[in-house]
Each structure stands twice: as C-alpha cells, then as structure tokens.
Amino acid sequence: MDGQSDRLLTPGEVAALFRVDPKTVTRWAASGRISSIRTPGGHRRYREVEIRALLGIDADPAPASDQAG
C-alpha cells in the first residue's frame, strides 16, 4: 500500500465527506455499518480508501485529462 491508500481519517473528516455530524459516524462504526480502527488512545479512525469507496470517490484519482469537446 502506498501512503495515500492507507491514510486514516478522523470522525470529523468522515462526517464532512458524508455531510453528517461526527457522532453519526461514530454510531455507524459502533453498529458495524463502517469499519474503524482504534488508536492507542482509544480514538476511532477510518480508512480513507474504504470511506471514499462508499462515497464512490476514487481515493487516488488519475491525472485529469481535458477531453471536453
């Protein structure tokens, strides 16, 4: 995995992507709707690749090509 694909997001970052409250993201993780990782301090983190896949966003986008015609 490269550095981009294993990036971890905070509940606030995930909430911003889904446009929900961070507590909603935490509830989703607690119910198993999305997977989370616990830091040594007990905080939840979410794999960016998984979150972007749920949103249908490519986590490692290819260079944009201007093919409008």
List the domains of the chain with CATH numbers: 9-55 (1.10.1660.10)
CA 25, 30, 34, 40 torsion-angle sign: positive
The string of pLDDT tens digits covering residues 31-46 is: 999 999 999 999 999 9
Q: Is the pLDDT of residue 22 over 90?
A: yes
Q: Residue 1: its pLDDT value, please?
A: 47
Q: pTM of the entire structure?
A: 0.73
For all residues of the chain together, what is the average pLDDT?
85
